[in-house]
Amino acid sequence: MNSRTLAGQDGNAAAEPQASAATRSPRPLSLKTKGILAFVAMVIYVVLIGTATEMQRQNLLEGVGKLEQAHRVEAQLLEINTSMARTLLAVNLTFSADDLAAASIRAMIEVEATLSLLEAIQGAHPEITRFSNSLHADVRDIAQAPSIEVLGRMRATLNGLIIELDRLTQEAHAVRLSLLDAYRQNYDRITLSGLAMLVVGLILLGAVIAIFFSRLTWDIRKLEAHARGIVMGDRDNPMQVTRNDELGSLMRAVNRMQEDLRQHERNIERARFERFHREKMVAVGSLAAQLAHEINNPIAAITGVASAMNQVQQADHCPNRGHTCKPGLILEQARRISLITRQIADFTRPQTQRPELLNLNELVRNTCAFVSYDRRFRRIALTTELDDEMPAIRAIADHLTQVLMNLLINAADALDEMPSEHQAEIRVATRVDEREATIEISDNGGGIAPEMLERVFEEYFTTKPAGKGTGLGLALSRELIQDAGGSLVLESTPGLGTTVRLTLPLLAAEQAT
Q: Is 413 exposed, middle or buried (0-12, 13-18, 19+ CB in 10 A)?
A: buried
Among 16, 6, 14, 9, which residue's Cα sits nearest to residue 457?
9
Residue 11 confidence class, pLDDT cut points 50, 70, 90: very low
pLDDT digits (tens, 9 = 90+) for 40-93: 887 888 888 888 888 877 888 888 888 888 888 888 888 888 888 888 888 787
Q: Which amino acid is at 220?
A: I
CA pair distance 473, 2, nearest whole angstrom: 10
Report the candidate in 508, 371, 497, 489 with the shortest Cα–Cα distance to residue 439.
489
The helix (H) or strand (E) run that includes residue 366 is helix 360-371
How crowded is residue 68: how many other Cβ atoms within 10 Å of its Cβ? 12
DSSP code at position 318: -
| pLDDT tens digits, 93-140 | 777 777 777 777 777 787 888 778 777 777 777 888 887 888 888 788
- Using a pLDDT cut of 90, give the percent of the chain over it: 4
Calculate mean pLDDT across residues 330-350: 64
- Per the model's pLDDT, the better-predicted residue between 275 and 36 turns out to be 36
List pLDDT tens digits, range 152-173.
888 888 888 888 888 888 888 8
Q: What percent of the chain has pLDDT over 70?
A: 73
Could you tell me whether strands 436-443 and 424-432 are parallel, antiparallel, or unpaired per DSSP bridges?
A: antiparallel
Pairing between β-strand 356-358 and β-strand 424-432 as defined by DSSP bridges: unpaired
Angle ∠(29,30,35) on CA atoms, nearest 5: 100
Which one has a higher pLDDT value, 72 or 313? Answer: 72
Q: Is 295 exposed, middle or buried (0-12, 13-18, 19+ CB in 10 A)?
A: middle
Angle at 286 between CA 285 and CA 288, to 5 degrees: 60
pLDDT band at 437 (very low <50, low <70, confident <90, very high): very high
How do residues 488-506 score in pLDDT, each as one tens digit?
888 888 888 889 999 999 8
Q: Are 269 and 472 in contact (CB under 8 A)?
A: yes
Task: Name which residue leads in pLDDT, 437 or 83.
Answer: 437
Q: How far apart are alpha carbons 193 and 54 in whole angstroms?
A: 12
Sequence-distant (≥ 6) Cβ neighbours of residue 497 within 8 angstroms:
442, 443, 444, 445, 446, 447
* pLDDT score, position 389: 87
For the ranges 218-222, 402-406, 446-450, the lowest mean pLDDT is seen at 446-450
Give me the DSSP letters along 96-107.
T-S-HHHHHHHH
> Which residue did the predictor score with more confidence, 187 or 455?
187
Query: Topology of domain 289-512, per CATH?
Result: Heat Shock Protein 90 (3.30.565)
Closest by CA to 190, choosing from 58, 43, 46, 48, is 58
Question: What is the rounded CA–CA span in Å between residue 504 and residue 16?
Answer: 22
Interval 291-313 mean pLDDT: 66
Rounded alpha-carbon distances, angstroms, from residue 9 to 55, 268, 488:
57, 18, 10
Task: Collapse the DSSP code of 66 into the 3-class scheme (helix H, G, I; strand E, B; otherwise coil) and give the result.
Answer: helix
d(Cα 296, Cα 310) in Å, to the nearest integer?
20
Section 184-191 average pLDDT:
82
Mean pLDDT to the nearest integer, 392-416: 85
Closest of 446, 447, 440 to residue 383, by C-alpha:
440
CB 343 within 8 A of CB 366: yes
Other Cβ atoms less than 10 A from the Cβ of 187: the count is 14
Q: Please compute the mean of the pLDDT values over residues 10-25 and round it to a whole number.
A: 43
Which pairs from 149-156 meet CB under 8 Å and 24+ separation?
151/91, 151/94, 151/95, 151/104, 151/107, 154/91, 154/107, 154/111, 155/88, 155/91, 155/92
Beta strands in 176-334 (DSSP E): none
d(CA 182, CA 188): 10
State the pLDDT confidence band at 439, using cuts at 50, 70 and 90. very high
Q: 3-class secondary structure for 140-192?
A: HHHHHCCCHHHHHHHHHHHHHHHHHHHHHHHHHHHHHHHHHHHHHHHHHHHHH
Residue at 469: amino acid letter: G
Q: Is pLDDT larger for residue 311 or for residue 166?
A: 166
Q: Which of 142-146, 478-482, 495-499 has the lowest mean pLDDT?
A: 142-146
- Mean pLDDT (whole number) for 187-199: 81
* Contact of 338 with 296, CB cutoff 8 Å: yes
Q: Looking at the predicted structure, is the pLDDT value of residue 280 above 50? A: yes
Phi, psi (deg, nearest 5) at residue 373: -80, -10
Q: How far apart are the first and last CA of the chain?
A: 38
Q: Report how far apart, in Å, the C-alpha atoms of 360 and of each of 195, 395, 486, 503, 507 are.
A: 79, 10, 14, 12, 15
What is the residue extent of each domain of the chain? 32-207, 289-512
Under the banding of pLDDT at 50, 70 and 90, the label for residue 285 is low
pLDDT for 80-101, tens place per residue? 888 888 888 887 877 777 777 7
pLDDT digits (tens, 9 = 90+) for 222-278: 888 888 888 887 777 788 887 777 777 888 888 888 888 877 777 777 666 666 656
Burial of 148 (0-12, 13-18, 19+ CB in 10 A): exposed
| Lowest pLDDT segment from 219-228, 259-268, 295-304, 363-372 | 295-304
Stated as kind and residue range, the H or E segment containing 354 is none
How confident is the model at residue 453, as a pLDDT? 76
* pLDDT at 153 (0 to 100): 82
- Above 60 in pLDDT, residue 293? no
Q: Are 494 and 449 in contact (CB under 8 A)?
A: yes
Check whether 19 has a pLDDT greater than 50.
Answer: no
Task: Name, in order, each residue with C-beta under 8 angstroms of 117's C-beta and a sequence gap of 6 or more.
Answer: 79, 80, 83
- Spatial separation of the C-alpha atoms in residues 464 and 483, rounded to whole Å: 27
Lateral strand order in the sheet of 424-432: 380-385, 424-432, 436-443, 497-505, 487-493
